[in-house]
Copies of this chain bind each other. A is one copy, B any other.
Amino acid sequence: MNLDFTYQNPTTIYFGKTALDNLSDELANYGETIMLAYGKGAIKKNGLYDQIVSILKEDGKNIVELSGIMANPTYEKVVEGAKLVRDNNVDLILAVGGGSVIDCAKAISVSAYCEGDAWTRYWIKFEPVDNKIVSVASILTLAGTGSEMNGGSVITNNDVKLKMGRIFPSNVSPKFSILNPEYTFTLPKYQMVSGIFDMMSHLMEAYFSGEDDVTSDYMIEGLLRSIINSAKIAVKDLKDYEARSNLMWSSTLAMNPIMGLSKTQDWEVHMIEHQLGAYTDCAHGMGLAAISLPYYRYIYKFGLDKFVRFAKEVWRVDETGKTKEAVALEGIAALESFIKECGIVTSIKELGATEEMLPLIANSTVLLSGGYKALTAEEILEILKTAYAAV
Q: Which residues of A contact B (CB under 8 A)?
A: 1-19, 22, 212-215, 217-223, 225-226, 229-230, 241-242, 245-246, 249-250, 253, 258, 261-262
Contacts and interface: CB of A to CB of B under 8 A. Distances in A.
Contacts of A221: 222
A2 B242 contact: yes
- Which of A213, A249, A261 gathers the greatest number of chain B CB atoms within 10 Å? A249
A213 B241 contact: no
B246 A229 contact: no
Copies of this chain, complex-wide, total 2
Nearest to A256: B258
Nearest to A224: B218
A16 to B, nearest CB: 3
A11 B258 CA distance: 12
The 3 A-B pairs at the shortest CB distance, nearest first, are namely: A4-B16, A222-B222, A218-B226
Contacts of A9: 9-10
Contacts of A258: 253, 258
30 contacts: A2-B16, A2-B241, A2-B245, A2-B246, A4-B18, A5-B13, A5-B15, A6-B15, A7-B13, A8-B10, A8-B11, A8-B13, A15-B261, A15-B262, A213-B230, A213-B242, A214-B242, A215-B246, A215-B250, A215-B253, A217-B226, A218-B223, A218-B226, A218-B229, A219-B222, A219-B253, A220-B222, A221-B222, A222-B222, A245-B262
B226 A249 contact: no
Contacts of A14: 6
A309 to B, nearest CB: 12
Contacts of A10: 8-10
A6 B13 contact: yes
- Which of A2, A226, A241 gathers the greatest number of chain B CB atoms within 10 Å? A2
Contacts of A246: 2, 213-215
A19 B4 CA distance: 8
B215 A249 contact: yes
A303 to B, nearest CB: 18
A212 B229 CA distance: 12
A212 B241 CA distance: 12
Contacts of A12: 6-8
Nearest to A13: B7
A16 B4 CA distance: 4
A271 to B, nearest CB: 27
Nearest to A4: B16
Contacts of A212: 242
B219 A226 contact: yes
Contact of A222 (B2, B7, B223): B223
Contacts of A11: 8
- Which of A14, A17, A245 gathers the greatest number of chain B CB atoms within 10 Å? A245
A15 to B, nearest CB: 5
Contacts of A217: 226
A33 B91 CA distance: 36
A229 B213 contact: yes
A219 to B, nearest CB: 5
Given A1-B242, A214-B242, A221-B222, 10 more contacts: A4-B17, A5-B13, A5-B16, A6-B14, A6-B22, A8-B11, A8-B13, A215-B246, A218-B229, A219-B223
A313 to B, nearest CB: 9
